[in-house]
Chain A
Amino acid sequence: MNYLLRRLGFYLIAALLAIVINFFLPRMMAGDPVDVMLAGFDTSSLTPEAIDQLREAFGFIDAPLPEQFATYVSNLLKGNFGVSVARYPTKVVDILGVALRWTLLMTGTALILTFSVGVLLGIQAAWKRGGFVDTYVLPFGAIMGAIPYFWVALIALYVFALQLGWFPLGRAEASGIPADWTNPNYVMGVVYHLALPVLTLLIAGFRSWMMGMRNNMVAVIAQDYITMAIAKGLPDRRIKYQYAARNAILPSLTGFALALGFLLGGSLLTEVVFSYPGVGLTLLNAVNTRDYPVMQGIFLILTLMVLLANFIADSLYILLDPRTRS
């Protein structure tokens, strides 16, 4: 429990840092961020009061920095992330809500898949040195790690969707079927649209888990308890999974943040390539339309998501490693 509390404290600090970055970035830049935001509007008719109102809507008030920060934080706590510039007066929270749903679906699916596949391959690579996985899959993973992910995704889109027509040309839902998760047709449509992005993520993403797991396994296999397990004459499977993998997966969980960060980066670009309506695409659109409140909201929400995922990984760690429980 103590361990969990300590981690929780740590994540709070991380969240705070993200909030601070978010707060100071626009304020550190030369010029008035509101001017930049308003650049897209014809502001010639605006009275100073009206501009102030807009300023406030975008989260900038005329006050000393500490007070601004306090207002900023209290707004965040109330779930008020401000108002989109490009889609004024849509609230940033509403935009994030939709985007988050799709990102959770895609990144979540990809996370589970890349994790399972990567970990299993990593176990196999370490367990059978010189076997198929060790000889072929490992170098393949290394090559994939060196290729820009979005490039692979684009080529996949071109070949499998445009040329071969096996998959849709991006987007998340089948056209014309109203969103209804109890309608199997709708769900099928969503799955069909999810397939290619997740597959490309899998191809590009299993590697980091696999390498990590392989190296952990190699280290664990050298441990005395593995030798003892072999000496005990236990069945191979039990040694492989209960003795080696169970121990080797623990550092993978602590390294979760890094791998997740990588996957998230990948999925942001995937969304861009596949026009998938998640957070990454929304972020890019926000960048293109200079929609700073949305950009910052996304950065914050992504950070919080990653922190949450890490916290879940930590909890899992406690479940899997009795040593942390005492």
Chain B
Amino acid sequence: MSRKLLASVIVIMLLFTSLSVVAQDAPAQGGSITIGLQAGSNVWTRNFSPFKAGEFDSRDLIYEPLIVWNPVDYSTPNYWLATGYTYSDDLKSLTFTLREGVLWSDGEAFNADDVIFTAQMLLDNPQMDAVSFNIGTVAESVEKVDDYTVTFHLKGVNTLAHTLLSVMNTVPEHIWSSVEKPAEYVVENPVGTGPFTEVTNFQDQEFTLCRNPNYWQEGRPYLDCINFPALNGNQAIALALLDGSVEWAGVNFPDEASFVNANPEHHHYYYWTGSATQYLVLNTTRAPLDDAQFRIAVSMLIDYDFVVDVGMEGATQRSSPTGFSYTQGDVISQDALALAAETGFNSYDFDRGTALLDELGYVDADGDGFRDYPDGSPLHLNLQAVNGFTAWVASTQIMAQAFQDAGLNITQTTLDFGAAVTAMRTGDFDLAMWFGTTGVTPWTFYRDMMYSALIDADGVTSSAWPRWTSERSDELIEQFTQTTDAEAQAAIIDELQSIYVENAVAIPMWDGPVWYNWNDTNITGFPTEDNYYATGAVTRSNTMQTRLIVLNELHLK
């Protein structure tokens, strides 16, 4: 069966199922689902604290965020424990109004004291904060206005504070206030506001969370329980998906056909590609990468479609030259795109690239088959990938081949993740595959990438990897957070995009896909390609707590 045909079959089937959903008034409660988290471990430790490291747990299902941000539609906040937010006029504080009538799973009422307690605890215990919600980067202090209103005083003007602070999961004060060392507190039987709070089974490799009897959303959740088997690695999850023991997972199935063929009616996958861009970072402090023309020439040598098809196994799409996903089309500046088309930045044109290199004087002077610096000295660069990140290793392999074909002596090296982080932080690399950061607004991307304040005197940085800065871009980045005027912000973003493209700050490669596979034999209500109401990520992260939305929608067939 061809892929197209297959896809249309799926679409038809999904249409049918979603129609049947509409037909019913309210789905019946009951049933359980088994989800395959890409766990960092194959053994669960019974600790339901939301303040532990490791993103792959159940914290958001037990303790909830104030707002759930859905990457599919960032412009519509999903108000959760909060019902709204406002900035003060000086933009230095942020006030959340909280939902009334929410009960903790033990029956106590939820109110502002819980939110304040949680926030204060994180501010008092920075190492706890660092491994969990990072509110300390933004908030200075927290203050109670009334029982359902909370104000955060910010460290500086930051109009993104609402996106950063609202992800915090609130814990009950009446339980945690008596805990002496909250950072080390082990929560065996959690009390939360979330849809699934009751631990009914806890084995070393599997636990079950069941419905919160006091859940605030009427009639939700439909499902009674969620099983969490501890699975680790693609292989383990793929096996579980294949034999049907896991119904929802997020693995990059290298051979999707074998998954779908195992049960064509019920096995599905869809990789949404709106997540953070991954790109090729060029160290602009090193010759010849300090030359924007050289960087542009390099960007012309890469056959992006081939890299995406082979390196990423076709699971995603290439990103726009401005660093954004085409999925976020409305953000992308047309001026910047036109500029890119003119300079040739970030589009594959091998001959133009080599011609540009010739023009710049990078020709083979000593006859060894490789281009040299214009002054004749030999040119050799390293292209870094991270060991274990197979897509990066594969695509750098492809790129290195293309560079060699173009006469550039660029060789691939793979580093261990730790070593790679150090190299990126200290600037000890030439070219490297790395991820971009993603946030609720495009601003995050440019701030993290180009803001000079993020690079310290020794050239060490924790996100501005290319080390390219300019006064104008700094200015724009700062201005952005000083205004709430959407139009002004859009203009800033447009100009940043042009600067980015003009200077070839970094070479965008592809959109990070959200891996998503599901099996609807028993359960339905999943996001589908046609009705992708929330991202299908089965794991949570601070920027993606959308499974909370999905799990409230899932129900028995």
Contact = CB atoms under 8 A, between A and B. Distances in A.
B40 A86 contact: yes
Interface string B18-55: 00000000000000001000001111010100011110
A285 B40 CA distance: 6
Interface residues of B, number: 50
A188 to B, nearest CB: 15
- Size class of the A contact interface (CB-based, 8 Å): 35 or more
A172 B205 contact: yes
A162 B242 contact: yes
Contacts of A275: 42, 205, 231-233, 236
Interface stretch (B128-136, B167-175, B516-524): B128-136
Contacts of A86: 40-41, 53-54
Interface stretch (A40-48, A113-121, A135-143, A225-233): A40-48
A85 B53 contact: yes
B229 A175 contact: yes
Given A39-B418, A54-B127, A54-B130, 4 more contacts: A45-B129, A89-B52, A94-B45, A176-B201
**Which A-B residue pairs are the 6 nearest by beta carbons?**
A36-B418, A50-B126, A39-B421, A88-B53, A45-B137, A45-B136
Given A35-B422, A40-B53, A171-B229, A281 B42 contact: yes
B236 A170 contact: yes
Q: Which of A45, A50, A162, A172 has the most CB of B within 10 A?
A: A45
16 contacts: A31-B419, A36-B422, A43-B130, A50-B126, A86-B40, A87-B52, A88-B131, A95-B41, A169-B243, A170-B236, A171-B42, A171-B229, A275-B232, A276-B42, A288-B40, A289-B40
Q: Which of A35, A57, A90 has the most CB of B within 10 A?
A: A90
B83 interface: no
A162 B53 contact: no
A281 B232 contact: yes
A277 B421 contact: no
A87 B46 CA distance: 11
A247 to B, nearest CB: 43
A282 interface: yes
B349 interface: no
Given A39-B418, A277-B205, A50 B45 contact: no
A175 B233 CA distance: 19
B219 interface: no
B137 A42 contact: yes
B205 A36 contact: no
A75 to B, nearest CB: 15
Contacts of B134: 42, 45
Nearest to B183: A89
A169 B244 CA distance: 11
Contact of B41 (A42, A45, A102, A285): A285
A282 B42 contact: yes
A89 B130 CA distance: 12
A43 B462 contact: yes
Interface string B415-447: 011110110010000000000000000000000
B127 A53 contact: yes
Contacts of B42: 171, 275-277, 281-282, 285
Contacts of B128: 89
A64 interface: no
Given A90-B47, A179-B203, A282-B41, A288 B127 contact: no
B137 A277 contact: no
Contact of B205 (A40, A85, A173, A289): A173
Interface string B226-238: 0101111100100
B388 interface: yes
Contacts of A50: 126-127, 130
Contacts of B205: 171-173, 275, 277
Interface string B131-145: 100101100000000
Interface string A34-76: 0110011111111100110110010000000000000000000
B203 A173 contact: yes
A86 B43 CA distance: 13
A140 B332 CA distance: 65
A110 interface: no
B243 A87 contact: no
A39 B52 contact: no
Given A43-B462, A46-B126, A176 B206 contact: yes
A88 B16 CA distance: 45
B240 interface: yes
Given A87-B40, A89-B184, A281-B42, A169 B240 contact: yes
A322 interface: no
A176 B130 CA distance: 35
A98 interface: yes
Given A87-B41, A95-B43, A98-B204, A290 B418 contact: yes
Contact of A178 (B54, B130, B203, B230): B203
Contacts of A281: 42-43, 232
A99 interface: yes
A288 B388 contact: yes
A173 B126 contact: no
A230 B41 CA distance: 58
Nearest to A186: B203
A86 B126 CA distance: 17
A39 B53 contact: no
A178 B206 CA distance: 9
A98 B131 CA distance: 23
Nearest to B240: A169
Given A42-B130, A50-B126, A282 B43 contact: yes
B245 A285 contact: no
Contacts of A178: 201-203
A275 B235 CA distance: 10
Contact of B417 (A35, A39, A44, A169): A39
A162 B236 contact: no
A40 B53 CA distance: 9
Contacts of A285: 40-42, 232
Contact of B204 (A31, A53, A57, A102): A102
A177 B200 CA distance: 11
B45 A90 contact: yes
A101 B203 CA distance: 13
Contacts of B136: 45
A41 B128 CA distance: 11
Q: Which of B54, B233, B416, B425 has the most CB of A within 10 A?
A: B54
Interface in A77-121: 84-90, 94-95, 98-99, 101-102
A224 to B, nearest CB: 55
A66 B230 CA distance: 41
Contacts of A47: 126
A101 B205 CA distance: 13
B13 interface: no
Given A87-B41, A176-B201, A41 B53 contact: yes
B188 to A, nearest CB: 12
Interface in A207-230: none
A296 B188 CA distance: 27
Contact of A277 (B230, B239, B243, B245): B230
A275 B416 CA distance: 23
A89 B129 CA distance: 12
B206 A277 contact: no
B140 to A, nearest CB: 11
A311 B54 CA distance: 39
